[in-house]
């Protein structure tokens, strides 16, 4: 397995170009999706024209938003450009890439020679009939289809990683469609993160991972879906979902010819026995630096005073160790991240502790809690919305709810742990939308361990959420 590395000797000057997405273009005919057209406002398109020129003339990829996550795009027809993606990401070269098209005209041009004729003397549509119902319902959108790669393929061989098929999708983002149209070529575009790290859903995330590795990032605001596209293979019987994503398997089953679709993202290739059939199947993905402990839905039943038992063990570790995860003698308070979804109470049991709220964007609530032991052995006081210090407890506090005075910010040597909680909300779409942001935020807080509350993964986008979390997890509690 070859892995491209980033050239650390030369650092590129990375620019973030804001884009006004209010008027980006439209389909000439929304029903057929044959041709994408641009607006007449040239000033709006200027950042895209700069990026498109860069894509045509260099081998350095461009960061750009889609409705799912930010992509790292390069000309899918040039080997040097595609190799630039592997170099920037540090991505294994046997991990195939998805190509993005702006309309069906561009897609058809990739999968058939222009002289292919059927028995009636008319040009035969090279798009397999099995995909027509999916295209009609889900394109443009977060769905990738596997297509046969012709022998005289226009795609660079690095796109398919040696497979006889390639993955293609038409993104819903007008910015992405306009960029592809102006560039005049399909764009190979995996997520714009360093390989194995959480996928980026903002331009800021891309800049964090790709600063010095690429030159241009188009900032079109936060992504709406938050997880990558669903990948399906309709060239086999029964058809399979190779990667769960923004389109649910239940919705796919409603389409003609797809009622018998099965899950294929737990097949042998996922554990590394063979080349992956689709992106995201083989290698560990979406992982923050910290150890991640994932509790499958309903797995956490053992509480102590409302606190998850594993978290309590860390609080009780007087020598500030997280021994069951390999950390010892930190020499500082442990920093614990908690990601709550549908059922854990606030703080996963620390809801009676005093907390401070930081102003965060993107509807993610981040809270920080300092926990201090009492003088007695193995005794901690968390009571009535206040953090008690030592054995002396006052009957009331003059401070308003949600406030924590500076005097209560205990010296580091007196603290046992810092707790950071991110609540993603109870809605599955909200959880999917905030998942990668949450993992990245905890990464930036340099937490030692992250405890994540899983959700039921049957149907809907929940399958995509749990697929990503299981790949991120170091330990899975069932």
Domain end, chosen from 238, 271, 304, is at 271
**Within a domain: residue 8?**
no
Banded model confidence at residue 43, pLDDT cuts 50, 70, 90: confident
Q: Do residue 113 and residue 212 come from a single domain?
A: yes
Q: Do residue 67 and residue 22 come from a single domain?
A: yes
Tokens at 54, concatenated: 């860069």
pTM: 0.77
Residue 116 pLDDT > 60? no
**Within a domain: residue 216?**
yes
DSSP 256: T
Q: Is 293 helix (H, G, I), strand (E, B) or coil?
A: strand
Banded model confidence at residue 286, pLDDT cuts 50, 70, 90: low
Residue 401 pLDDT > 90? no
Q: Do residue 97 and residue 137 come from a single domain?
A: yes
Extract the runs of DSSP E, i.e. beta strands, from 306-426. 307-308, 334-340, 356-358, 365-371, 382-383, 386-387, 417-423
Longest dimension (CA), the chain: 92
Task: Please list, in sequence order, all residues whose beta carbon lies within 8 angstroms of the beta carbon of residue 64, skipping any fewer than 6 positions away.
Answer: 51, 70, 71, 73, 175, 176, 179, 189, 192, 217, 218, 220
Extract the runs of DSSP E, i.e. beta strands, from 26-76. 26-27, 36-37, 62-65, 70-75
| pLDDT single digits (tens) 314-362 | 544 433 444 445 555 455 666 778 888 888 766 565 443 333 334 333 3
What are the two backbone dihedrals, phi and then psi, of residue 474, each rounded to the nearest 5 degrees? -90, -40
**Within a domain: residue 283?**
no
| pLDDT single digits (tens) 127-161 | 999 999 999 999 999 999 999 999 899 999 999 98
Q: Do residue 329 and residue 256 come from a single domain?
A: no
Q: Do residue 70 and residue 155 come from a single domain?
A: yes
What are the two backbone dihedrals, phi and then psi, of residue 57, each rounded to the nearest 5 degrees? -105, -10
Lowest mean pLDDT across 20-34, 272-286, 434-448: 272-286
Q: Do residue 322 and residue 216 come from a single domain?
A: no
**Within a domain: residue 286?**
no
Specify the pLDDT at position 371: 55
Give the CATH number for residue 111: 3.90.870.10
**Within a domain: residue 82?**
yes
Helix, strand, coil content of the chain in percent (nearest 5): 25, 20, 50
Q: Do residue 473 and residue 415 come from a single domain?
A: yes
Q: Do residue 352 and residue 408 come from a single domain?
A: yes
- In angstroms, the CA 103 to CA 138 distance is 13
Sheet holding 475-477, edge to edge: 356-358, 365-371, 417-423, 334-340, 449-453, 291-295, 475-477
DSSP 400: P
Residue 298 pLDDT > 80? no
Domain end, chosen from 236, 271, 306, is at 271
Give 475's strand partners: 293
Residue 227 pLDDT > 80? yes
Average pLDDT across the chain, whole number: 77
Q: Do residue 265 and residue 131 come from a single domain?
A: yes
Give the CATH number for residue 453: 3.40.50.11030
Residue 476 pLDDT > 90? no
Specify the pLDDT at position 122: 57
**Within a domain: residue 282?**
no
Tokens 């979902």 belong to residue: 241
Q: Do residue 156 and residue 266 come from a single domain?
A: yes
Q: Do residue 302 and residue 187 come from a single domain?
A: no
Specify the pLDDT at position 218: 98
Domain limits for position 384:
291-477
Q: Do residue 231 and residue 368 come from a single domain?
A: no
**Within a domain: residue 276?**
no
Banded model confidence at residue 98, pLDDT cuts 50, 70, 90: very high
Q: Work out how many domains the chain is built from and give that number.
A: 2
Residue 73 pLDDT > 50? yes
């Amino acid at each position: 397995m070859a892995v491209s590395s980033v050239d650390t000797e030369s650092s590129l000057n990375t620019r973030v170009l804001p884009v006004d997405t209010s008027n980006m273009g439209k389909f000439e005919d929304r029903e057929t999706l044959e041709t994408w057209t641009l607006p007449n406002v040239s000033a709006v398109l200027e950042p895209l024209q700069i990026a498109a020129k860069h894509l045509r003339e260099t081998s350095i990829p461009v960061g750009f938003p889609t409705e799912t996550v930010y992509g790292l795009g390069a000309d899918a027809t040039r080997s040097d450009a595609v190799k630039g993606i592997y170099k920037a990401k540090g991505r294994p070269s046997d991990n195939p890439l998805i190509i993005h098209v702006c309309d069906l005209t561009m897609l058809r041009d990739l999968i058939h020679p222009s002289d292919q004729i059927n028995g009636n003397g008319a040009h035969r549509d090279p798009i397999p009939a099995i995909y027509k119902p999916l295209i009609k319902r889900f394109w443009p959108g977060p769905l990738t289809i596997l297509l046969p790669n012709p022998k005289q393929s226009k795609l660079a061989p690095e796109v398919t990683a040696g497979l006889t098929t390639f993955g293609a999708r038409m993104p819903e983002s007008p910015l992405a469609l306009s960029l592809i149209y102006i560039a005049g070529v399909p764009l190979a575009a995996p997520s714009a993160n360093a390989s194995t790290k959480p996928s980026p859903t903002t331009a800021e995330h891309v800049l964090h991972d790709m600063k010095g590795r690429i030159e241009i990032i188009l900032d079109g605001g936060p992504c709406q879906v938050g997880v990558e596209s669903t990948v399906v293979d309709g060239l086999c019987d029964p058809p399979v979902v190779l990667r769960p994503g923004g389109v649910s398997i239940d919705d796919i089953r409603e389409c003609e010819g797809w009622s018998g679709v099965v899950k294929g993202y737990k097949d042998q290739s996922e554990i590394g026995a063979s080349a992956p059939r689709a992106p995201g199947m083989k290698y560990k993905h979406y992982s923050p630096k910290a150890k991640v402990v994932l509790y499958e839905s309903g797995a956490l039943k053992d509480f102590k005073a409302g606190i998850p038992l594993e978290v309590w063990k860390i609080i009780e570790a007087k020598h500030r160790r997280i021994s069951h995860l390999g950390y010892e003698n930190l020499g500082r308070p442990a920093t614990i991240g908690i990601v709550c979804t549908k059922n854990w109470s606030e703080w996963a049991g620390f809801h009676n502790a005093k907390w401070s709220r930081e102003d965060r964007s993107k509807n993610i609530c981040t809270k920080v809690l300092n926990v201090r032991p009492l003088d007695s052995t193995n005794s901690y006081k968390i009571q009535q919305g206040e953090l008690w210090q030592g054995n002396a407890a006052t009957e009331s506090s003059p401070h308003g709810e949600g406030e924590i005075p500076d005097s209560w910010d205990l010296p580091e040597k007196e603290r046992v742990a810092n707790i950071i909680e991110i609540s993603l909300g109870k809605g599955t779409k909200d959880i999917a939308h905030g998942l990668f942001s949450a993992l990245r935020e905890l990464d930036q807080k340099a937490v030692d361990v992250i405890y994540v509350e899983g959700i039921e993964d049957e149907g809907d986008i929940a399958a995509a959420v749990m697929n990503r979390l299981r790949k991120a997890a170091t330990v899975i509690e069932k």
